[in-house]
A and B are shown apart, each in its own frame.
Chain A
């Protein structure tokens, strides 16, 4: 029993290490880690800050930086897991699926690997923040980083569901922005959504990333005067909703992906 468990853990580590190795070797990944925050924080954030951010009562660029941490981790974790579809098209999933390991170990390994790989993307975000002179917040930022495994796991479960739904890479490429853009704009990651009403408010309340972003902001602004202006829900509610979404999407995604792999 113990040996079987160790075998599964070893497989999870090996699958995760594959993604990390690939990410470290990728020049494209390094370039994106710098360009992505430059566009969103440097261009979009600075423009919003100069034109609309003055009367908010808090530093808008710092607000956006926290949202970008969640967004970067989520987006790159989901993109990493969506590579399962690419693996399927390149026939690489055959090698993994004939291995004597649990399907959950495959999915967990993929989530962990994509999560760690997405954390490297944060380096670019920090570099851009330093260039633009955005205050990182010292220990507040460290606390936020400690939350990153939860952020990645939450996004990972959504990524697995996407990989289960997409039969080919083209569908995955269409699904990716459909899932990511609404979350990016409606979760409060980049733009405050405290005053949203109607349908936008409804969507803002049902998307998983809203609760992850809110939890991240609660952790970052904990004890700060801006806390009440920025954080929308109780951190406990954020944790429970995020855990619920994680469980739901992990199980659904694993079932969908495994079925799509074997039941052709």
Chain B
């Protein structure tokens, strides 16, 4: 699969800052991929996404998006991307439809007309289809002042997809949204990805949102710490184990020892680690009747916290 985003040795040094915010970052995103870019506050996530979306000048390095060089072909880069910003970037004095009309004219999709009914039928159909998909079809002609945070996010999704971008950048798209709005937003994004094969580049603080990503990239203090599929990161960072217990603990312990399993005895039973094998392998070798059986599957959040605390010199859990 070809790379749609290629970043090499990217550096950003802000004016008056002692240290660079981004220090020689290199990574690639494949076409059609769901790529999650994670890191703690101040790690360099928003700086990187701002550079990739051409709203911030880099200090050095090269960036190519959809085959276009960020320095030499910024207009082509902008035409290839859609963005949902961390803070809504909408004009509250205009209606939802007027905000979208401005967007499509800036992208040269349709000639500007002073009223919705004068806009081309193709525009009206596209906006109606997308509004129906995100469920705000009844609010298109209302001023944004009456919109909730969730509705504004949905409007931004419609706007960002009007020009059918190859890459959709989502900079903490669910911050400030309630649980229901978050869930529905992700449903829409999945639907859009399936229908339009759009590459998704996500930054988020909600790590459960990144669980479904094809690959996760973790940045900390301006450097890439780790990159890979969520299950690979979990495997590298956290040991998986089976939690078992039996009325006859002594016999169970002996069986585990004889089987050569690495385990520890805790208050709630035995934690038997199985990094290179499976829970079935452990259970198959046991004859002692069990009273407890639980497979511990670490979350991406646990793996992430392990990595960040390790980098900051904290205690390993």
State which of B75, B89, B105 has its C-beta within 8 Å of the C-beta of A94. Answer: B89
Contact A98 B112 (CB under 8 A): no
Contact B54 A91 (CB under 8 A): no
Chain B neighbourhood of A22, CB < 8 A:
91, 93-94
Chain A neighbourhood of B88, CB < 8 A:
91
* Interface pick from A8-16, A201-209, A247-255: A8-16
Contact B94 A18 (CB under 8 A): yes
Q: With A21-B98, A263-B15 known to touch, is A101 a contact of B55 (CB < 8 Å)?
A: no
Q: Which residue of A lies closest to B53 (CB)?
A: A98
Contact B78 A100 (CB under 8 A): yes
> Which B residues fall within an 8 A CB radius of A?
14-15, 53-57, 74-76, 78-79, 81, 83, 85, 87-94, 98, 101-103, 105-108, 111-112, 114
Contact B87 A100 (CB under 8 A): no
Q: Does A99 sit at the interface, judged by CB under 8 A?
A: yes
What is the CB-to-nearest-CB distance from B159 to chain A, in angstroms, rounded to a whole number? 8
Q: Does A44 sit at the interface, judged by CB under 8 A?
A: no
For this complex, 16 residue pairs linking A to B, each with C-beta atoms less than 8 Å apart, are A7-B108, A10-B111, A11-B106, A14-B102, A18-B91, A22-B93, A22-B94, A94-B55, A95-B90, A95-B106, A99-B106, A99-B107, A100-B79, A262-B56, A262-B57, A263-B57
Contact B55 A261 (CB under 8 A): yes
Q: With A98-B53, A98-B83, A101-B75 known to touch, is A14 a contact of B90 (CB < 8 Å)?
A: no
Question: What is the bound-complex CA distance between A90 and B76, given in angstroms?
Answer: 26
Contact B89 A264 (CB under 8 A): no
Instruction: Count chain A residues whose beta carbon lies closer than 8 angstroms to a beta carbon of B.
Output: 28
Q: Does A96 sit at the interface, judged by CB under 8 A?
A: yes
Q: Does A48 sit at the interface, judged by CB under 8 A?
A: no
Question: What is the bound-complex CA distance between A99 and B82, given in angstroms?
Answer: 9
State which of B56, B92, B106 has its C-beta within 8 Å of the C-beta of A101. Answer: B106
Q: Is the interface of B mostly helix, strand, loop or mixed?
A: loop
Chain B neighbourhood of A98, CB < 8 A:
53-55, 78, 81, 83
7 new A-B contacts, CB < 8 A, other than A18-B94, A101-B75, are A10-B108, A11-B108, A14-B112, A25-B93, A95-B103, A97-B55, A264-B56
What is the CB-to-nearest-CB distance from B60 to chain A, in angstroms, rounded to a whole number? 14
Q: Which residue of B lies closest to A16 (CB)?
A: B112
Q: Does A136 sit at the interface, judged by CB under 8 A?
A: no
Question: What is the bound-complex CA distance between A264 and B54, given in angstroms?
Answer: 13
Question: What is the bound-complex CA distance between A98 and B92, given in angstroms?
Answer: 19
Chain A neighbourhood of B83, CB < 8 A:
94, 98
The 7 closest A-B CB pairs, nearest first, are A14-B105, A99-B106, A7-B108, A100-B78, A100-B75, A95-B89, A100-B79
What is the CB-to-nearest-CB distance from A1 to chain B, in angstroms, rounded to a whole number? 14
Chain A neighbourhood of B112, CB < 8 A:
10, 13-14, 17
State which of A14, A94, A263, A264 has its C-beta within 8 Å of the C-beta of B106. Answer: A14
Contact A13 B54 (CB under 8 A): no
What is the CB-to-nearest-CB distance from B284 to chain A, in angstroms, rounded to a whole number? 57
In chain A, positions 1-41 with a C-beta closer than 8 Å to chain B are 6-7, 10-11, 13-15, 17-18, 21-22, 25-26
In chain A, positions 70-104 with a C-beta closer than 8 Å to chain B are 90-92, 94-101
Chain A neighbourhood of B102, CB < 8 A:
14-15, 17-18
Question: What is the bound-complex CA distance between A11 and B81, given in angstroms?
Answer: 18
Question: What is the bound-complex CA distance between A6 and B76, given in angstroms?
Answer: 16
Pick the most buried of B74, B79, B94, B102: most chain A CB atoms within 10 A of its CB: B102
Question: What is the bound-complex CA distance between A6 and B182, given in angstroms?
Answer: 39
Chain A neighbourhood of B79, CB < 8 A:
100
Contact A100 B107 (CB under 8 A): yes
What is the CB-to-nearest-CB distance from A15 to chain B, in angstroms, rounded to a whole number? 8
Contact B105 A11 (CB under 8 A): yes
State which of A15, A91, A262, A263 has its C-beta within 8 Å of the C-beta of B89. Answer: A91
What is the CB-to-nearest-CB distance from B44 to chain A, in angstroms, rounded to a whole number? 14
Q: Which residue of A lies closest to B171 (CB)?
A: A94
Chain A neighbourhood of B105, CB < 8 A:
10-11, 13-14
Q: Which residue of A lies closest to B16 (CB)?
A: A264
What is the CB-to-nearest-CB distance from A225 to chain B, in angstroms, rounded to a whole number? 45
What is the CB-to-nearest-CB distance from B293 to chain A, in angstroms, rounded to a whole number? 52
Q: Which residue of A lies closest to B78 (CB)?
A: A100
What is the CB-to-nearest-CB distance from B168 to chain A, in angstroms, rounded to a whole number? 12
Pick the most buried of A17, A25, A100: most chain B CB atoms within 10 A of its CB: A100
Pick the most buried of B79, B89, B106: most chain A CB atoms within 10 A of its CB: B106
What is the CB-to-nearest-CB distance from A102 to chain B, in angstroms, rounded to a whole number? 8
Chain B neighbourhood of A26, CB < 8 A:
93
Question: What is the bound-complex CA distance between A17 and B94, given in angstroms?
Answer: 11
Question: What is the bound-complex CA distance between A94 and B89, given in angstroms?
Answer: 7
Chain B neighbourhood of A17, CB < 8 A:
102, 112, 114
Chain A neighbourhood of B90, CB < 8 A:
92, 95
